[in-house]
């Protein structure tokens, strides 16, 4: 488990940890790229919307899973939010908005994305990517 302060520079640290895990586990480059996009969105969400860029609040990151999948958990120390309230970025009225696509990208590039409340508050985001023979799943599998 890694604890990061709420600074965007730490996206690079999270990405570096992911690259190491992918290398150790033999996850191929294409899959690593799309998982990396999702991870950056998750960390950015936690920093921006969860912790409101307050560097004294931390973002928790864990990477785990079994031999068949990679599980990423990102937690923040914010007030939490209602995912149902997030607008559909594909709706015509939202297409030209300058924000609101992060969760959509996470759900697109990962196989399973869930949000929950942390025991001490904040939001816990859990994302899972299946690795068995479908590592290349990016936009092709949509």
Partner 1 sequence: MKTTVTTRDVGDVKIVELHGKITIGAGDLQMREAIHTAVSAGATKLLIDMKDVTTIDSSGVGELVGCYTTATHKGAKLKLVNLPPKISDVLTVTQLITVFDVFTNEKDALASF
- Are the C-beta atoms of residues 100 and 90 closer than 8 Å to each other? no
Residue located via tokens 């996009």? 37
CB of 47 to partner 1, least distance (A): 8
Site string for partner 1, 121-140 (x = CB under 8 A): -----------------xx-
CB of 127 to partner 1, least distance (A): 15
- Are the C-beta atoms of residues 104 and 38 closer than 8 Å to each other? no
Task: Judge residue 48's burial from the number of C-beta atoms within 10 Å of its C-beta, 0-12 exposed, 13-18 middle, 19 or more buried.
Answer: middle
65: left (phi over 0), alpha (psi -120 to 50) or beta: left
Q: Is 41 in the site for partner 1 (CB under 8 A)?
A: yes
Site string for partner 1, 83-122 (x = CB under 8 A): ------xx----xxxxxxxx-xx--x--------------
Q: Which residues bind partner 1 (CB under 8 A)?
A: 8-9, 11, 33, 36-37, 40-41, 44, 48, 89-90, 95-102, 104-105, 108, 138-139, 142
């Amino acid at each position: 488990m890694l604890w990061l302060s709420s600074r965007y520079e730490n996206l690079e640290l999270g990405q570096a940890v992911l690259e190491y895990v992918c290398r150790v586990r033999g996850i191929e480059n294409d899959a690593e790229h799309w998982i990396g996009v999702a991870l950056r969105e998750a960390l950015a969400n936690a920093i921006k919307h969860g912790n409101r860029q307050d560097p004294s609040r931390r973002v928790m990151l864990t990477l785990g899973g079994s031999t068949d999948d990679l599980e990423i958990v990102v937690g923040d120390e914010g007030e939490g939010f209602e995912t149902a309230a997030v607008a559909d970025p594909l709706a015509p009225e939202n297409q030209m908005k300058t924000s609101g696509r992060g969760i959509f990208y996470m759900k697109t590039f990962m196989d399973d994305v869930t949000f929950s409340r942390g025991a001490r508050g904040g939001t816990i985001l859990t994302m899972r990517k299946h690795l068995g023979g479908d590592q290349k799943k990016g936009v092709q599998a949509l």
